[in-house]
């Protein structure tokens, strides 16, 4: 009652002020317009209207609570009625009234019920202030900006530690009895939020939740007065600066009003309105639902509900399954825009054995809760783009407090969190870790007082996050509403043509082609859609990102979730044992009812999985012709759980026949997604080696055949990814170009895979790369950093005391040695020129050919269009692009010989002796 009284007083004072200002102006206006048509008594009566209305209004303050916080203006219909003495006068007065209302758009109208006495009672029937409604509608129609309050809370950690129970408890759901493992990722959206004003948690009834209203609420929550003040102070920018465009590589991210130091340049939220009249008419099959009238109706519904007045930001919980097989797919959805909870079982010691668990690739340590904590921290910090210093934040939460005697809870808390601090005391990402909160909860008890402590911690971290309350551009809101409508109807994917058509036929506003491209890339970076701007994938847009969650879990899933249908079950068994799946087998999986939404777009989804390195092609070649054979099987490295039990490393990979280098990562554990995706990339470049009747493809290990004399091994050991080059007879015969080329390919591939490096492209590479290179000693057991090795004339390894000189590393850095033919060299023989180059020789050629010369080279080879497509797809991987375009040239030209390459080089006035360094 007290709050209601206070609100009424505020409204009363506000409206009283308007009455004192508006009525005299209105009356004067009417006097001037109507005095010639009114009698003297009628004029006197009209003069008394403001006085009587003002007196009456003071008596009716208590009834004005219905006016909420909206200002109102007076429509004195009774006065007008008195002035209507005949039909002509009535028409004139009506016209005058309309003109007056249009001129006074900064005021509002309160309609009054007709009564025998003038303005005897005041009844407010239109609570929507005309000016505010206009400003709010303008924001929905594409002008200005709005403030967005959205936060993804991603809950990660070891399996069976209570993540799902904790999420349900926080969201206000009923926690089920027993354990229910999560298959992939589970999302809880629209269940709870945070009051922006009071910071209190708000639970939302799922039956009343409407995803479409979310867009309206977010836009309308922005204060009109605040928006107007901002527009007065800030000059309008009619165009989005080219330097701030958001691209699919994520180099430039959107920003918000934050005090956080930036690590990358933010996107300006100012996007101009588009001029729709330039769009030509086209025959369409898409239908626009968001007319101005429809938006107005929905906006008024939200306004009248008053919900927008309570600024409630959304909390969206992502519950990540903890089983090993998901560790390659989870990183696809991680983002710096989220807050992370890393959950662990507080009833167990940090270094206590976790039974019946497959540890990570190449990890021979005992699986413990500490190992899982390190894994999740390293994964989050590796795959989340670094845009703001110290963001994202990682909060640790211990569960199973109910299993600890009450008297021992505090001592166990100290033991657990002291251990966590010790575990990460020297970690380079320590500024991301929230170590001041020592939360220990019973995730099944909503009366546990520490649940409120956890909520407060989440609240504080959310409000401190730079993406909470960021300014968002409104130019795209109409199209966003159209897409939201389609998602609500169950639509998952649109073709790019459909999106363009939906934009072109908009009855509200139309984005220009450049703005539409920015819309797609920008909303992809926000996680609202999935759009890959690559030649193979740019023709479709996933408008419901949850579809990708379903795609991943359809075939990358734990054994307990394998389908029972016999044929599909056999596919999963084969995939688990050999890591392979056929295209038709995957399509069969998608024919299941749960995944039927995928099937109409199966080719696009399949290519997306290849692009993300979840699937990898296995290259096969005809041994007689050297031509590439059609792909039959695709590898799914993350589903391979078998360890390498062959004798290959003991018998073949010996110091006498092999050389080694290591990619040393900063963390103690390499996230499994990285080596798995690296293995996928290797499979697309080289062929898996057969040994002892088995393919050398295992968990965290792959053996590859480079040519008849050279093999490659890539494997994980601790926090290192080891690269071995093995010669058939002696390590001294390893071709330096091959070792250098393979090394550079892996470096570039890992940099591409790691979002960590790509997102900090403006920073120095040496500071931001998640790994550095080390060279091994002759026994392949001791290591020296590349930086030190290339500066040191002599190095003695600690264990074997062998002396190594700088010449030992030239095999990995062939470009550092001067290479040229002897004076008497006559070039390749006619027989050699007639040969078709192998992939390995093309790799050597791609390394030797300067990047600046590739445009001319591919032009002479007739591959310019393919070169442009490949470089567009791999803008930061020029070395990979050079090799891929030459591989495509070989595939498309059956007679593509060394002679053709030599002729192209001669036309470029480049010596064909370059091929002497390429020919093996």
CATH number at residue 419: 3.40.50.300
Q: Predicted confidence band at 414 (pLDDT cuts at 50, 70, 90)?
A: very high
Bridging pattern class, strands 253-254 and 266-267: parallel
Tens-place pLDDT, residues 270-302: 323 332 333 333 344 555 555 555 655 665 555
Same structural domain for residues 104 and 156?
A: no
Residue 407: the pLDDT is 92
* Among 470, 505, 525, residue at a domain's last position: 470
The pLDDT of 661-685, averaged and rounded, is 78
The pLDDT of 881-891, averaged and rounded, is 87
Domain span including residue 42: 2-127
Query: Does the pLDDT of residue 820 top 70, yes or no?
Result: no
Burial of 912 per CB tally in 10 Å (0-12, 13-18, 19+):
middle
User: What integer best gives the mean pLDDT of the chain?
Assistant: 71
Alpha-carbon gap, residue 554 to 548, rounded angstroms: 10
The pLDDT of 714-728, averaged and rounded, is 90
Residue 660: the pLDDT is 93
Q: Is 559 inside a domain boundary?
A: no
Query: Does the pLDDT of residue 107 top 50, yes or no?
Result: no
Query: Does the pLDDT of residue 119 top 80, yes or no?
Result: no
Residue 722: the pLDDT is 93
User: pLDDT: is 267 or 297 the higher one?
Assistant: 297
User: pLDDT: is 97 or 204 the higher one?
Assistant: 204
Highest mean pLDDT among 3-7, 474-478, 901-905: 901-905
User: pLDDT: is 183 or 856 the higher one?
Assistant: 856
Q: Is 56 inside a domain boundary?
A: yes
**SS3 state at 589:** helix
The pLDDT of 727-740, averaged and rounded, is 86
Q: Is 750 inside a domain boundary?
A: yes
Q: Is 89 inside a domain boundary?
A: yes
Lowest mean per-residue pLDDT among 53-67, 346-360, 472-486: 53-67
Assess contact for 400 and 180: CB atoms under 8 A: no
Which helix (H) or strand (E) segment holds residue 146: the answer is strand 145-148
Of 458, 336, 461, the residue nearest 388 (C-alpha): 336
Same structural domain for residues 348 and 444?
A: yes
Tens-place pLDDT, residues 555-601: 777 666 677 788 888 888 887 777 788 888 888 888 888 888 888 89
Bridging pattern class, strands 312-320 and 150-157: parallel
Q: Is the preceding peptide bond at 641 cis, omega within 30 degrees of 0? A: no
Encoding tokens for residue 278?
A: 């330039």
Assess contact for 385 and 379: CB atoms under 8 A: no
CB atoms inside a 10 Å sphere around CB 875: 13
User: pLDDT: is 124 or 749 the higher one?
Assistant: 749
Q: Is 528 inside a domain boundary?
A: no
Alpha-carbon gap, residue 186 to 190, rounded angstroms: 13
**SS3 state at 800:** coil
Tens-place pLDDT, residues 531-560: 888 888 889 999 888 888 788 878 777 666
The pLDDT of 794-805, averaged and rounded, is 82
Residue 395: the pLDDT is 96
Highest mean pLDDT among 1-5, 386-390, 757-761: 386-390
User: pLDDT: is 758 or 842 the higher one?
Assistant: 842
Query: Does the pLDDT of residue 328 top 70, yes or no?
Result: no
Alpha-carbon gap, residue 315 to 337, rounded angstroms: 12
Query: Does the pLDDT of residue 463 top 90, yes or no?
Result: yes
Domains identified in the chain, total number:
4
Assess contact for 675 and 754: CB atoms under 8 A: no
Same structural domain for residues 842 and 694?
A: no
Q: Is 247 inside a domain boundary?
A: no
Same structural domain for residues 27 and 110?
A: yes
What lies within 8 Å, CB to CB, of 10 at 6+ separation is 69
Same structural domain for residues 375 and 442?
A: yes
Tens-place pLDDT, residues 16-26: 554 444 444 44
Residue 252: the pLDDT is 31
The DSSP string of 660-728 is EEEEEESSSS--THHHHHHHHHHHHHSEEPEETTEE-EETTEEEEE-SSSEEEEEEEETTEEEEEEEES
Same structural domain for residues 681 and 743?
A: yes
Q: Is 608 inside a domain boundary?
A: no
Alpha-carbon gap, residue 27 to 8, rounded angstroms: 27
CATH number at residue 779: 3.30.310.200
Same structural domain for residues 691 and 716?
A: yes
List b or e across 28-46, with b for residues whose CB sees 16 or more CB atoms inside 10 angstroms: ebbeebbeeebeeebeebb
User: pLDDT: is 140 or 910 the higher one?
Assistant: 910
The DSSP string of 54-110 is HHHHHHTGGGGGGGTT----B--HHHHHHH--SHHHHHHHHHHHHHHHHHTTTS--B
Q: Is 512 inside a domain boundary?
A: no
Residue 725: the pLDDT is 95
């Amino acid at each position: 009652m007290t709050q209601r009284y206070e609100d009424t007083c505020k409204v009363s004072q506000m409206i009283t002020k308007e009455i004192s200002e508006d009525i005299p102006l209105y009356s004067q206006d009417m006097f001037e317009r109507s005095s010639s048509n009114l009698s003297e008594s009628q004029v006197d009566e009209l003069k008394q209207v403001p006085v009587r209305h003002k007196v009456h209004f003071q008596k009716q303050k208590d009834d004005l609570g219905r006016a909420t916080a909206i200002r109102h203006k007076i429509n004195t219909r009774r006065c007008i009625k008195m002035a209507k003495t005949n039909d002509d006068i009535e028409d004139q007065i009506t016209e005058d009234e309309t003109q007056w209302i249009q001129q006074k758009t900064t005021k509002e109208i309160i309609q009054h019920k007709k009564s025998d006495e003038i303005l005897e009672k005041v009844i407010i029937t239109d609570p929507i202030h005309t000016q505010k409604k206009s400003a709010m509608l303008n924001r929905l129609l594409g002008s200005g900006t709005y403030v967005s309050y959205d936060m993804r809370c991603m809950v990660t950690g070891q399996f069976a530690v209570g993540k799902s129970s904790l999420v349900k408890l926080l969201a206000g759901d009923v926690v089920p009895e027993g354990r229910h493992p999560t298959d992939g990722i589970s999302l809880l959206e629209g269940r709870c939020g945070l009051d922006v004003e009071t910071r209190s948690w708000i639970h939302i009834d799922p039956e009343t939740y409407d995803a479409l209203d979310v867009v309206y609420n977010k836009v309308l929550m922005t204060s009109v007065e605040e928006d107007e003040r901002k527009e007065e102070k800030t000059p309008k920018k009619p165009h989005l600066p080219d330097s701030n465009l958001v691209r699919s590589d994520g180099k430039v991210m959107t920003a918000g009003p934050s005090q956080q130091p930036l690590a990358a340049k933010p996107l300006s939220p100012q996007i101009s309105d588009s001029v729709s009249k330039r769009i030509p008419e086209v025959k369409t099959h898409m239908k626009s639902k968001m007319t101005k009238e429809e938006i107005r109706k929905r906006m008024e519904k939200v306004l009248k509900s008053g919900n927008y007045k309570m600024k409630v930001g959304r909390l969206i919980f992502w519950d990540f399954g903890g089983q090993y097989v998901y560790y390659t797919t989870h990183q696809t959805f991680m983002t710096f825009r989220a807050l992370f909870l890393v959950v662990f079982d507080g009833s167990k010691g940090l270094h206590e054995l976790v039974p019946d668990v497959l540890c990570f690739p190449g990890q021979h340590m005992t699986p413990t809760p500490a190992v899982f904590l390190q894994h999740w921290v390293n994964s989050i910090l590796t795959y989340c783009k670094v845009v703001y210093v110290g963001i994202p934040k990682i909060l640790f939460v211990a569960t199973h407090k109910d299993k600890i005697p009450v008297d021992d809870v505090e001592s166990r808390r100290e033991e657990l969190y002291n251990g966590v601090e010790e575990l990460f005391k020297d970690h380079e990402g320590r500024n991301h870790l929230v170590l001041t909160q020592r939360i220990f909860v019973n995730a099944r008890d909503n009366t546990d007082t520490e649940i409120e402590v956890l909520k407060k911690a989440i609240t504080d971290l959310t409000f401190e996050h730079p993406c909470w309350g960021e300014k968002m551009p409104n130019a795209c809101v109409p199209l966003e509403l159209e897409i939201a409508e389609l998602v609500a109807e169950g639509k998952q994917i649109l073709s790019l043509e459909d999106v363009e058509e939906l934009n072109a036929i908009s009855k509200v506003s139309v984005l220009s082609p450049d703005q539409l491209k920015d819309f797609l890339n920008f909303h992809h970076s926000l996680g609202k859609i999935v759009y890959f701007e690559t030649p193979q994938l740019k023709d479709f847009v996933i408008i419901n990102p949850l579809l990708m969650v379903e795609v991943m879990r359809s075939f990358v899933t734990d054994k307990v979730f394998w389908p029972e249908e016999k044929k599909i079950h056999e596919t999963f068994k084969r995939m688990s044992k050999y890591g392979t799946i056929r295209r038709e087998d995957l399509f069969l999986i998608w024919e299941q009812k749960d995944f039927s939404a995928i099937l109409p777009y199966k080719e696009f989804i399949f290519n997306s999985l290849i692009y993300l390195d979840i699937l990898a092609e296995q290259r096969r070649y005809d041994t007689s012709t050297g031509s590439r054979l059609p792909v039959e099987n695709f590898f799914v490295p993350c589903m391979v759980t078998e360890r390498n039990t062959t004798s290959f490393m003991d018998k073949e990979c010996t110091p006498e026949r092999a050389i080694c280098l290591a990619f040393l990562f900063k963390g103690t554990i390499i996230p499994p997604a990285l080596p798995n995706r690296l293995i996928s990339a290797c499979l697309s470049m080289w062929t898996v080696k057969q040994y002892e009747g088995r393919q050398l493809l295992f968990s965290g290990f792959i053996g590859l055949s480079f040519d008849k004399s050279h093999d490659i091994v890539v494997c994980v050991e601790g926090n290192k990814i080891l690269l071995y080059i093995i010669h058939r007879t002696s390590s001294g015969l390893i071709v330096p170009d091959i070792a250098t080329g393979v090394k550079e390919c892996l470096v570039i591939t890992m940099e591409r895979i790691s979002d960590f490096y790509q997102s900090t492209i403006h920073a120095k590479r040496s500071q931001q790369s998640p790994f550095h290179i080390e060279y091994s000693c002759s026994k392949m057991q001791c290591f020296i950093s590349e930086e030190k090795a290339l500066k040191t004339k002599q190095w003695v390894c600690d264990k074997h005391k062998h002396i190594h000189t700088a010449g030992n590393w030239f095999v990995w850095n062939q470009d550092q040695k001067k290479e040229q033919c002897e004076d008497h060299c006559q070039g390749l023989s006619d027989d050699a020129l007639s040969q078709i180059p192998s992939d390995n020789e093309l790799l050597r050629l791609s390394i030797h050919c300067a990047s600046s010369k590739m445009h001319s080279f591919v032009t002479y080879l007739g591959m310019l269009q393919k070169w442009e497509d490949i470089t567009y797809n791999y803008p930061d991987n020029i070395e990979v692009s050079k090799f891929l375009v030459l591989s495509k040239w070989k595939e498309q030209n059956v007679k593509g010989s060394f002679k053709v390459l030599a002729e192209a080089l001669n036309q470029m006035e480049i010596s064909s002796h370059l091929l002497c360094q390429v020919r093996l």
